[in-house]
Amino acid sequence: MFSVLFVCTGNTCRSPMAEWISKKYMEEFGLTGQVEVTSAGIAAWAGSALSAGASRALARRQIEERGVHAARRFNADMLDQADLVLAMTASQRHSLAREYPQYQHKIHTLSAYALGVEEDIADPYGGGDDFSYEAAARQIDEACRGLLRKLRAKLGNA
């Protein structure tokens, strides 16, 4: 099983949206049972719930959490287990690569790896409205589709 870990700051908005959006498209891309996606936050408060804005952005995409999201704090063991680590921003990628140089080869930003464009996924947290969450969800949705296309080709399912 190929393992992808999405990473953001708090694991309550962007990285769980990437996890759930990817899970939604897994069957469409023929990757069910071949790719596992999870998420974590560099500065997460373990156990924190998915933000309400992120939950509404997912619901607009007919995505319901399967179970209750509980934020996970990123740790080095996750790097050992993941085949690919996708950060939401270049700053997060640099931080992880600097702290764990032996894993630099598997740490990328979501947009750069999936779409070939170095573009941060803007943090909607604290935006105060659904507009910022929807904008982030649109970016994430596009990048996740690109990611799954790339993984389908990589894993021989093109």
- CATH number for the domain spanning 122: value is 3.40.50.2300
How does residue 19 score in pLDDT terms, banded at 50, 70 and 90? Answer: very high
pLDDT at 117: 96
Out of 13, 14, 93, 144, which one is annotated catalytic? 14
Establish whether 13 is a catalytic residue: no
**Residue range 91-134, pLDDT digits in tens:** 999 999 999 999 999 999 999 999 999 999 989 976 666 778 99
Number of domains the chain contains? 1
pLDDT at 68: 77
Out of 73, 83, 120, 123, which one is annotated catalytic? 123
Please identify which residue in the block is written with the tokens 């469409």: 28
Query: What is this structure's pTM?
Result: 0.94
Establish whether 123 is a catalytic residue: yes
pLDDT at 7: 98
Answer whether 16's CB lies under 8 Å from 54's CB.
Answer: yes
Domain that holds residue 54: 2-154
